[in-house]
């Protein structure tokens, strides 16, 4: 399946993807209205390490430990391969946050659920917004082969 | 007598995982699932959230209602397996019927265990807190005036408290240990959790125990007396190992299995709270009665039952538990050198030994905790990463570029 | 902040739109933007702003604009604000003023004073979408003698040629003055387009030897990075005698830009200023130049064309005549509006002549002397569009070098601060965190797009004139008419005034 990959050598650490993600998932059509004066809670996170930067978001693992560990059945891996969270079923225990090796499942700001990237399949964007607006082609959405 | 390729005894997490494991290898083999609860499969830990109002009976389904049908599994609820005959490869049920199996999974879970307590029979309203039936029974007696006594300040007792705190008059909690959650928290962490629970009305009687019950009064060893209307006992659990033990299968504290989920009896597998795992954090075999662990065991057993190959050899205890918005995440064992960051409302303790992260406690610092869990479960040597940076904040920026490349540039 | 000099620009932030995402802060190497945690708002120190537009471009809510300040000195047509500021600056430092990119002064741009012809009735225009249009060309000597072998078959006596699929090449920009990623982008684009890029005098990084078939290597007065393999790898060799932005001046790459990689490529010490002398110390005459041309030809077994590049100066035509006789295959002329990574401001702004005049005169002179076929003519020094290319070819050029336009395609916003080494677009810098801002995977495609677009336009314009090959356009001055030009200018350009029929 197509997944999001970060190209560390081209990531500038500008953190735009975080804002584009928060905007895409805000449900508000205007970025200023969606984000101004607010603390953002994106599903993608840029990690910094000196001059090295890279964006981390859900890897949609083939064998997703978050799904296996979910106590309520709120996390599922769809037939399209996308790992999604059903907020309605989630009770916010954060077991998924505790087990995701990438730190890509996050506590939702309301504290009552977890949240994660669904490749912008659930917000009407059609394609991942972080990828679309990365100014340097450092985040890509493509098919790749499996790791050993 | 009907023959099934797979019979799964028990109908909770391990069993569901086994179905998913079997179907990942064998799309067609016949499956029978029997469960003694008359209820569609649900996440057991959700019962406190149910009382709290954070979920309801409909949303508690662990899988969609069509799960068994979709997976071609026959489901029989309200049926208890009485015994197995490994030679004939049959299971006999409580209703007298029997079935033949090709491969069998024992996922019978555990049951509450109450040590002998004097006068307990005189208590009219006493409950356990492990199953939905327990929660529903308890719920009937909840009222704004009710006084509740919970014996046991472990995970079950305290989650029960959270569930009922706002629905009853008062709650007293008694535990023999000197702190709450003694199995997963150190003193600092336990004190924080205790304070949080006290803010929500809990009264604790620690390092104490009930000497005697007399209907609506408990007299503690210290001599204190607690009057109550409802008693919840959450002292301990006992694994349901009899099916295997009775026919000579190897059982220690729980059913003993290898890394593929096989018991000592041919074609009989075990998973979930009735079975032991090898805990890589403590280096010992033990029961890890945690939902994710039941899933991993069940899935592994299912795959192997169906002729596939999977090993589950990195079990470790990890807990995510919340109380009134306070998130407590813990994992592993608390041995070795401690790295501690104590904030006003947060607490981080990491325990390192032999170049490994052995365990951690995070209170209200949940962000990206999974990176620590990965260090622990995958036994990544601290010397291979920027340990100081990792301790300060969990992230892949503490890992060397090659390790990131291996994980981030391909499908995982 | 400088007591005398006020900033030229103001950073205007629409606070209604700003979401304080701090992208501007993270992306400004000049540290103009800062976040004030107390107010939760962004601030700007415009005294550091070079108006490169990195922040403006990346601001996700379009909350930023940079405007020219309306702070003003007492108006004076003679003493402009810039002139006054330059005096202040020199009074502050005692130094020579440095600038980057091309001459910004309001000298006439003759491309804009020439109009192109189109066919009507008597000779029909050609539709390039329906009929073949030849934009392929060869650069080199066209003076092959007809010789036959003993069997009577023709011998190949043609001098080495450079084949181009478009009449556009990327002009010389050294690794050092521009970044590794900028070089990679140019090299990859040249390969895909079937044209050439030019190493400048900075040598050729080992990683780029694979693009040798599309590489022109330079031999300049500093001889940086010149060795046998360098010459052999290239498609052609350019001897750089001068540069349009700073005729008569050598080069000066500050030590700070000489990283380990640059040092190895240039074969000079790391961190030490690299000085290219003003003259080649072995060339004081056309005869000396011929020796170098011959040496380079010998070194490469006469397989590669030799280009001699000069700045457009007053006696360009006479000099070109000499170069044509020196054995060179191609003459490159660089006009006074050509860009540079760093030049003394006074030189950049006051020395040299427009490329249009130099080209017209050189072409005419070589024709008069009957040696036009001895050389091809390449022109550069501010070719800004496909129309400039067509006009240049009609004036007599074979093909055009583009530098500034190529940099713009890469993202350059012409802030003219290359000499600071802090290019926010990752082009004119060696700072690793800035260099990585230019991803060649994206950047080379922008170059390919630009040149492809120009190629389509060239075909369109030629078709309109009823011309179907560059060969038929070259030196075809009847296709040009002047507008707003004096008689002298018309005479020098060799064209008629608009409205004048044959």
A147 in any annotated domain: no
All partners of chain C with 3 or more CB pairs under 8 angstroms = A
C14 has a chain A CB within 8 A of its CB = no
Q: Which residues of C touch A135 (CB under 8 A)?
A: 57-58
Nearest to C42 by CA among C11, C71, C67: C11
Q: Which two tokens stand for residue B243?
A: 């099916």
Cα-flanking dihedrals φ and ψ of residue C57, to 5°?
-70, -40
Q: Say how many C-beta atoms besides its own lie within 10 A of residue B90's C-beta.
A: 17
B to A contact (≥3 Cβ pairs closer than 8 Å): yes
CA distance B357 to B332: 9
Say whether both A106 and A129 belong to one domain: no
**Digit-coded pLDDT (tens) for A74-92:** 999 999 999 999 999 999 9
All partners of chain B with 3 or more CB pairs under 8 angstroms = A
Residue A148 has pLDDT above 80, yes or no: no
How much is the average pLDDT of C297-322?
97
Residue C1 has pLDDT above 60, yes or no: no
Question: What band does A126 get if pLDDT is binned at 50, 70 and 90?
Answer: confident
Backbone φ/ψ region at B408: left (φ over 0), alpha (ψ -120 to 50), beta: alpha
A26 in any annotated domain: yes
Question: What band does C251 get if pLDDT is binned at 50, 70 and 90?
Answer: confident
Say whether both B121 and B102 belong to one domain: no
Do C496 and C482 contact (CB within 8 A), yes or no?
yes
Minimal C-alpha gap between B203 and chain A (Å): 24
Say whether both B259 and B197 belong to one domain: no
Positive or negative, the CA dihedral A93, A94, A98, A100 is positive
A82 in any annotated domain: yes
Say whether both A17 and A52 belong to one domain: yes
B383 has a chain A CB within 8 A of its CB = no
Q: Say how far residue C163 (Cα) sits from the centre of its chain.
A: 20
Contact state of C437 with A32 under an 8 Å Cβ cutoff: no
A16 has a chain C CB within 8 A of its CB = yes
Do C372 and C336 contact (CB within 8 A), yes or no?
no
CA distance C62 to B130: 56
Nearest to A136 among C16, C40, C437 (CB): C437
Q: Say how many C-beta atoms besides its own lie within 10 A of residue C218's C-beta.
A: 25
pTM of the model: 0.91
Q: Which two tokens stand for residue C409?
A: 């395609």
Q: Which residues of A touch C24 (CB under 8 A)?
A: none
Q: Which two tokens stand for residue B74?
A: 């026959």
| % of chain C with per-residue pLDDT over 70 | 100
* Helix extents (H) in C47-147: 54-58, 81-93
The tally of domains found in chain A comes to 2
Q: Which residues of A touch C182 (CB under 8 A)?
A: none
Say whether both B6 and B62 belong to one domain: yes
Domain of residue A18: give its range.
1-57+122-139
**How many helices and strands, by DSSP H and E, does chain B display?**
11, 24
A5 in any annotated domain: yes
C to A contact (≥3 Cβ pairs closer than 8 Å): yes
Q: Say how many C-beta atoms besides its own lie within 10 A of residue A121's C-beta.
A: 15
Do B152 and B233 contact (CB within 8 A), yes or no?
yes
CA distance B202 to B149: 10
Do B108 and B243 contact (CB within 8 A), yes or no?
yes
Low-confidence ranges of chain B (pLDDT < 50): none
Residue with the two structure tokens 């006068």: B119
State residue C145's pLDDT score.
86
Do B81 and B93 contact (CB within 8 A), yes or no?
yes
Domain of residue B244: give its range.
2-109+240-305
B to C contact (≥3 Cβ pairs closer than 8 Å): no
Q: For C9-95, CATH number?
A: 3.30.70.20
**Digit-coded pLDDT (tens) for B344-386:** 999 999 999 999 999 999 999 999 999 999 999 999 999 999 9
Residue C248 has pLDDT above 60, yes or no: yes
CA distance B66 to B72: 10
How much is the average pLDDT of C180-189?
98
State residue C13's pLDDT score.
97
C499 has a chain A CB within 8 A of its CB = no
Say whether both B122 and B104 belong to one domain: no
Do B321 and A98 contact (CB within 8 A), yes or no?
no
A5, A17, A32, A54, best to mutate vs chain C, most C CBs in 10 Å:
A32
**Digit-coded pLDDT (tens) for C125-161:** 999 999 999 999 999 999 888 899 999 999 988 999 9
Positive or negative, the CA dihedral B226, B232, B237, B243 is positive
Mean pLDDT (chain B, rounded): 96
Q: Which residues of chain A from 44 to 73 reach within 8 Å of chain C, CB to CB?
A: 51
B314 in any annotated domain: no
A36 in any annotated domain: yes
Contacts of C287 (CB under 8 A, 6+ apart): none
DSSP string, C124-190: ----TTTS--B--EEES-------B-TTSPBP--PPP-EEESSSEEEPP--BTTB-HHHHHHHHHHH
CA dihedral C100, C102, C104, C107 (to 10 degrees): 150
Nearest to A19 among C57, C60, C441 (CB): C60
Residue C12 has pLDDT above 70, yes or no: yes
Say whether both A47 and A92 belong to one domain: no
Nearest to B370 among A45, A68, A99 (CB): A99
| % of chain C with per-residue pLDDT over 90 | 89
B70 has a chain A CB within 8 A of its CB = no
How much is the average pLDDT of C435-455?
98
Q: DSSP 3-state assignment of C333?
A: strand
Pairing mode of beta strands B284-286, B277-279:
antiparallel
Q: Which of these CATH numbers, 3.40.718.10, 1.10.600.10, 3.20.20.70, 3.30.930.20, describes C167-497?
A: 3.20.20.70
Minimal C-alpha gap between A16 and chain C (Å): 7
**Digit-coded pLDDT (tens) for C313-352:** 999 999 999 999 999 999 999 999 999 988 999 999 999 9
Residue C441 has pLDDT above 90, yes or no: yes
N-terminal to C-terminal alpha carbon distance within chain A:
17
B24 in any annotated domain: yes
State residue C274's pLDDT score.
86
Contact state of A102 with B396 under an 8 Å Cβ cutoff: yes
Contact state of C61 with A32 under an 8 Å Cβ cutoff: yes
What does the domain layout of chain C look like in residue ranges? 9-95, 167-497
> What are A's interface residues with B at a Cβ cutoff of 8 A?
3, 5-6, 8, 45, 47-49, 52, 54, 56, 59, 61-62, 65, 68-73, 88-89, 91-95, 97-107, 111-112, 144-147
A72 in any annotated domain: yes
B348 in any annotated domain: yes
Which CATH number belongs to the domain containing residue B385 in this structure?
3.30.390
* Helix extents (H) in C369-466: 386-395, 404-410, 432-435, 440-464
Contact state of A62 with B411 under an 8 Å Cβ cutoff: yes
Q: Which whole-number Å values give the CA distances from B248 to B29, B276, C192, in the listed order?
A: 28, 17, 75
Q: Which whole-number Å values give the CA distances from A125 to A17, A75, A85, B24, C163, in the listed order?
A: 14, 21, 18, 32, 46
Q: Which residues of chain C from 43 to 82 reach within 8 Å of chain A, CB to CB?
A: 57-58, 60-61
Which CATH number belongs to the domain containing residue A95 in this structure?
3.30.70.20
Say whether both B197 and B275 belong to one domain: no
Q: Say how many C-beta atoms besides its own lie within 10 A of residue B38's C-beta.
A: 10
């Amino acid at each position: 399946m197509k997944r999001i990959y970060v190209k560390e050598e081209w990531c500038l650490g500008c953190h735009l993807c975080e804002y584009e993600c928060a905007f895409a998932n805000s449900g508000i059509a205007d970025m200023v209205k969606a984000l101004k004066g607010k603390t953002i809670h994106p599903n993608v996170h840029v990690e910094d390490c000196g001059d090295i930067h890279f964006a981390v978001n859900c890897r949609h693992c083939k064998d997703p430990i978050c799904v296996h560990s979910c106590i309520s059945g709120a996390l599922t891996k769809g037939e399209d391969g996308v790992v999604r969270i059903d907020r309605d079923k989630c009770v916010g225990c954060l077991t998924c946050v505790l087990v995701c090796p990438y730190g890509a499942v996050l506590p939702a700001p309301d504290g009552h659920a977890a949240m994660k990237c669904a490749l912008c399949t659930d917000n009407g964007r059609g394609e991942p917004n972080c990828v679309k607006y990365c100014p340097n082609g450092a985040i890509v959405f493509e098919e790749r082969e499996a790791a050993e | 007598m009907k023959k099934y390729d797979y019979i799964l005894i028990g109908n909770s997490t391990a069993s569901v995982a086994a179905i998913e494991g079997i179907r990942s290898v064998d799309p067609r083999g016949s499956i029978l699932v029997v469960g003694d609860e008359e209820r569609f499969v649900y996440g057991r830990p959700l019962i406190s959230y149910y009382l709290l109002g954070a979920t309801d009976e409909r949303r508690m389904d662990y899988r969609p209602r069509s799960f068994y049908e979709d997976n071609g599994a026959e489901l029989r609820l309200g049926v208890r397996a009485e015994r197995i005959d490994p030679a004939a490869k049959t299971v006999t049920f409580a209703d007298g019927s029997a079935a033949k199996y090709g491969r069998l999974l024992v996922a019978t879970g555990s049951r509450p265990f109450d040590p002998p307590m004097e006068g307990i029979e005189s208590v009219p309203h006493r409950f356990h807190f492990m199953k939905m039936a327990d929660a529903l029974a308890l719920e009937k007696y909840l009222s704004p005036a009710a006084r509740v006594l919970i014996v046991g300040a472990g995970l079950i007792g305290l989650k029960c408290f959270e569930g009922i705190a706002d629905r009853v008059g008062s709650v007293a909690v008694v535990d023999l240990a000197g702190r709450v959650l003694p199995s997963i928290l150190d003193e600092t962490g336990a004190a924080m959790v205790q304070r949080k629970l006290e803010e929500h009305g809990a009264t604790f009687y620690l390092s104490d125990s009930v000497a005697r019950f007399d209907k609506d009064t408990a007299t503690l060893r210290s001599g204190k007396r607690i009057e109550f209307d409802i008693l919840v006992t959450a002292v301990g659990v006992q694994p349901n190992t009899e099916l295997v033990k009775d026919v000579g299968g190897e059982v220690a504290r729980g059913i003993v299995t290898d890394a593929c989920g096989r018991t000592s009896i041919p074609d009989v597998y075990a998973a979930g709270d009735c079975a032991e795992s090898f805990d890589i954090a403590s280096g010992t075999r033990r029961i890890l009665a945690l939902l994710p662990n039941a899933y991993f065991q069940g899935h592994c057993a299912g795959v192997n039952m169906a002729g596939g190959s999977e090993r589950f050899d990195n079990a470790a205890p990890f807990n995510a538990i919340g109380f009134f918005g306070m998130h407590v995440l813990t994992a592993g064992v608390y041995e070795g050198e401690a790295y501690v960051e104590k904030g006003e409302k947060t607490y981080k303790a990491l325990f390192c030994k032999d170049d490994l992260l052995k365990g951690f406690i995070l209170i209200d610092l949940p962000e990206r905790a999974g990176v620590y869990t990965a260090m622990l479960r995958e036994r990544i040597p601290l010397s291979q990463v920027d340990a100081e940076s990792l301790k300060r904040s969990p992230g892949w920026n503490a890992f060397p570029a090659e390790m990131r490349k291996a994980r981030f540039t391909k499908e995982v | 902040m400088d007591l005398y000099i006020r900033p030229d620009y103001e950073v205007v932030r629409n606070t209604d739109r700003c979401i304080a995402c701090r992208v501007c802060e993270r992306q400004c190497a000049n540290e103009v933007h800062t976040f004030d945690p107390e107010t939760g708002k962004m601030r700007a120190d415009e005294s550091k702003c070079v108006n490169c537009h990195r922040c403006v471009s990346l601001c996700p809510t379009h909350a930023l604009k940079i405007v020219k300040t309306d702070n003003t000195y007492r108006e004076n047509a003679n003493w402009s604000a810039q002139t006054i500021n330059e005096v202040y600056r020199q009074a502050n430092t005692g130094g020579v003023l440095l600038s980057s990119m091309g001459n910004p002064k309001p000298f006439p741009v003759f491309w804009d004073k020439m109009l192109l012809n189109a066919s009507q009735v008597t000779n029909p225009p050609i539709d390039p979408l329906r009929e073949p249009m030849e934009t392929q060309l060869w650069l080199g000597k066209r003076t092959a003698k007809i010789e036959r072998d003993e069997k009577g078959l023709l011998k190949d006596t043609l001098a080495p040629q450079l084949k181009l699929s478009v009449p556009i090449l990327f002009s010389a920009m050294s690794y050092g003055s521009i970044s590794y990623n900028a070089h990679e982008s140019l090299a990859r684009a040249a390969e895909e387009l079937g044209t050439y890029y030019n190493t400048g005098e900075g040598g050729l990084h080992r990683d780029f030897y694979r693009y040798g078939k599309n590489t022109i290597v330079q031999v300049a007065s500093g001889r940086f990075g010149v060795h046998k393999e360098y010459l052999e790898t290239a498609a052609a060799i350019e001897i750089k005698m001068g540069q349009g932005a700073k005729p008569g001046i050598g080069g000066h790459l500050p030590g700070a830009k000489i990283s380990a990689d640059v040092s190895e490529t240039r074969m000079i010490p790391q961190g030490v200023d690299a000085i290219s002398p003003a003259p080649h110390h072995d060339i004081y005459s056309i005869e000396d130049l011929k020796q170098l041309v011959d040496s380079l030809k010998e070194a490469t077994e006469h397989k590669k064309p030799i280009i001699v590049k000069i700045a457009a100066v007053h006696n360009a035509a006479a000099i070109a005549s000499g170069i044509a006789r020196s054995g060179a295959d191609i003459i490159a002329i660089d006009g006074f509006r050509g860009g540079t990574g760093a030049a003394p401001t006074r030189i950049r702004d006051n020395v040299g002549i427009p490329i249009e005049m130099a080209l017209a005169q050189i072409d005419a002179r070589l024709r008069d002397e009957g040696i036009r076929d001895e050389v091809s003519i390449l022109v550069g020094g501010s070719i800004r569009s496909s129309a400039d290319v067509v006009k240049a070819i009609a004036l007599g050029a074979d093909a055009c070098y583009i530098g500034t336009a190529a940099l713009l395609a890469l993202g350059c916003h012409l802030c003219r601060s290359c000499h600071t080494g802090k290019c926010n677009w990752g082009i004119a810098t060696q700072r690793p965190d800035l260099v990585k801002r230019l991803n060649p995977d994206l950047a080379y495609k922008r170059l390919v797009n630009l040149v492809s677009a120009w190629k389509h336009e060239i075909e369109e314009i030629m078709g309109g004139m009823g011309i179907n090959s560059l060969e038929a356009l070259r030196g075809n001055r009847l296709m040009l008419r002047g507008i707003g030009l004096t008689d002298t200018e018309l005479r020098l350009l060799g064209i008629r005034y608009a409205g004048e029929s044959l």
